[in-house]
Amino acid sequence: MKLSRAYTLDQVRSVIRYEESREALRGEQFAVHRAKPLGFWTRPGDRGLPLKLLGRKLGELIEMTYDDLIDVRGIGDKKFDSYLMLLARALAAGSEELGMLADGSSPAPMATTDGRHASTPARRGHRQADDHRGNPAAARVAGDGDGDGDGGNRRNDDQREGDSRAWRDSPPGFTTEEVSEWQWSRWRECVVRHGLQDATLGHLAPSLRGLSRSLWDTPLSEYTNRTLAQLRRRKSHNEKHLCSIVEVFRSIHALLCDAEPGGHLGLHLRPRLIGQAADWLSETQRKRTVPTKRECLDQFVMPLVEQLRRDVKQQAVAFAERRLGVSGGTTDGRPAARRDQPPRRGADRLLGEISAVLNVRWPGGQSQAHALLARLDRQVPSRGKRARLRQVQSVVELFGPTATGGSPATSTKP
């Protein structure tokens, strides 16, 4: 490498990092990336960006030398460091799309079971290893753009991209400012590739607290063809709503990014706690057994209560616990004393809120629970029947009125 002018030590380091990045980005795996503008790898929280370069294609820019770029008006050392940061993200994107792990090996396919709930990825945190070892050029470009030359010794957030921790529920400090258009495009493509466009936001969201109720029934297809910039321009989508929407796509990508669609195995995506209750209910129906109170409480009632704890305010959770007889340390299914009940109008409001959550989280759950209740009503002896069926009855009631509009009560007698 020949130097055409006098450089400072920091500038020499920048030249070396840039030359390594240019050489790597000329690889065949980056053909698609070279056709995209540099701004494709920016994030809303980025500062000090080389604005005059953002609209130009990456392939065009890497053909320019360091001197050519520095001579562009408004591009100094700090803006050039930001340019190197964006190149690092492009390099990380190419390495990740090749499916390379830290040791350069290909990821193992994720084991799945047809029709069963997959609560966690088969390889949690498989991208938490240092991705730079599989791409030395990316490691050299890594850093925060301060030109201190030790960026290659630090793990770069741009390489991690947040994918490996997306399976967590509501990761602390997550905002859409951490997400680039490139990441968002990959997450959207994953949803389309696995045919999940008809799934609703309310069914798959980590929590419904940050998601407007008007968006609960919105299918993912509403967002699969929209950029983050387009979503931010929507007046109905504030930052809190947008963050919840993006988290749904990010969680799906973390779970399915390495899964190949079209195989003989499949996935049934649903909230983990809802899956526990649904699996227990299906197994109980299959065996045609009469569950004990403790089994019903541990395997059916409590998972639903914990799901409500994630999705509604504490007042509604306490109301559900009283209705199910699990509040105040009692677990016998007896209803709370009248003095502990909220006023009728408040009770109707809380019951409506709980019913909406359960129905969006578990579509068809009410009919399945009602079928169990009807079978037990026929199977359990009349003596003590009300006490045996009270908790299942209370769960059915929390789902709201039946499809016929009447009460889901059974013919149980004292």
Question: What DSSP assignment string belongs to 61-83?
Answer: HTTS-HHHHHTSTT--HHHHHHH
Structural domain for 282, as ranges: 272-398
Based on the fold, state whether residues 291 and 384 are members of the same structural domain.
yes
89-110 mean pLDDT: 50
Of 70, 99, 128, which one is at a domain's C-terminal end?
99
DSSP β-bridge partners for residue 37: 57
| Residue 238 within a domain | yes
**CA separation for the pair 64, 15 (Å, rounded):** 12
Based on the fold, state whether residues 290 and 334 are members of the same structural domain.
yes
Of 74, 99, 124, which one is at a domain's C-terminal end?
99
Based on the fold, state whether residues 280 and 235 are members of the same structural domain.
no
| Residue 119 within a domain | no
The residues, any chain, with a CB within 8 Å of residue 291's CB and separated by 6 or more, are: 284, 299, 300
Choice among 74-83, 115-124, 216-225 with the minimum mean pLDDT: 115-124
**CA separation for the pair 138, 60 (Å, rounded):** 19
| Residue 50 within a domain | yes
Q: What pLDDT is stored for residue 327 in this prediction? A: 67
Q: What pLDDT is stored for residue 109 in this prediction? A: 30
Of 99, 117, 138, which one is at a domain's C-terminal end?
99
Based on the fold, state whether residues 394 and 276 are members of the same structural domain.
yes
Based on the fold, state whether residues 165 and 85 are members of the same structural domain.
no
Binned at pLDDT 50, 70 and 90, residue 384 comes out as: low
Binned at pLDDT 50, 70 and 90, residue 146 comes out as: very low
Based on the fold, state whether residues 211 and 196 are members of the same structural domain.
yes
Q: What pLDDT is stored for residue 2 in this prediction? A: 54
Choice among 62-76, 346-360, 373-387 with the minimum mean pLDDT: 373-387
Number of domains within the chain:
3
Q: At 255, list the tokens.
A: 């779970």
Based on the fold, state whether residues 302 and 252 are members of the same structural domain.
no
- Tens digits of per-residue pLDDT, 149-177? 343 333 334 333 333 333 334 445 567 77
Residue whose C-alpha is closest to residue 98's, from 1, 3, 24 = 24
Based on the fold, state whether residues 247 and 314 are members of the same structural domain.
no
| Residue 76 within a domain | yes
C-alpha angle 166-168-173 in degrees, rounded to nearest 5: 80
Based on the fold, state whether residues 319 and 331 are members of the same structural domain.
yes
Q: At 383, list the tokens.
A: 């003596």
Based on the fold, state whether residues 228 and 175 are members of the same structural domain.
yes
**CA separation for the pair 306, 304 (Å, rounded):** 5
- Tens digits of per-residue pLDDT, 3-33? 556 778 888 888 888 888 888 888 888 888 8
| Residue 217 within a domain | yes
Is the pLDDT confidence value at 217 over 90? yes
Cβ atoms within 10 A of the Cβ of 95, count? 22
| Residue 410 within a domain | no
| Residue 330 within a domain | yes
Q: Which residue has the tokens 């990316």?
A: 138
Based on the fold, state whether residues 278 and 214 are members of the same structural domain.
no
Residue whose C-alpha is closest to residue 207's, from 251, 267, 255 = 251
| Residue 174 within a domain | yes
Based on the fold, state whether residues 284 and 393 are members of the same structural domain.
yes
- Tens digits of per-residue pLDDT, 315-351? 999 999 998 888 654 444 444 444 455 566 678 899 9
Q: What is the DSSP letter of 57?
A: B
In the chain, the amino acid numbered 208 is L
**CA separation for the pair 316, 231 (Å, rounded):** 31
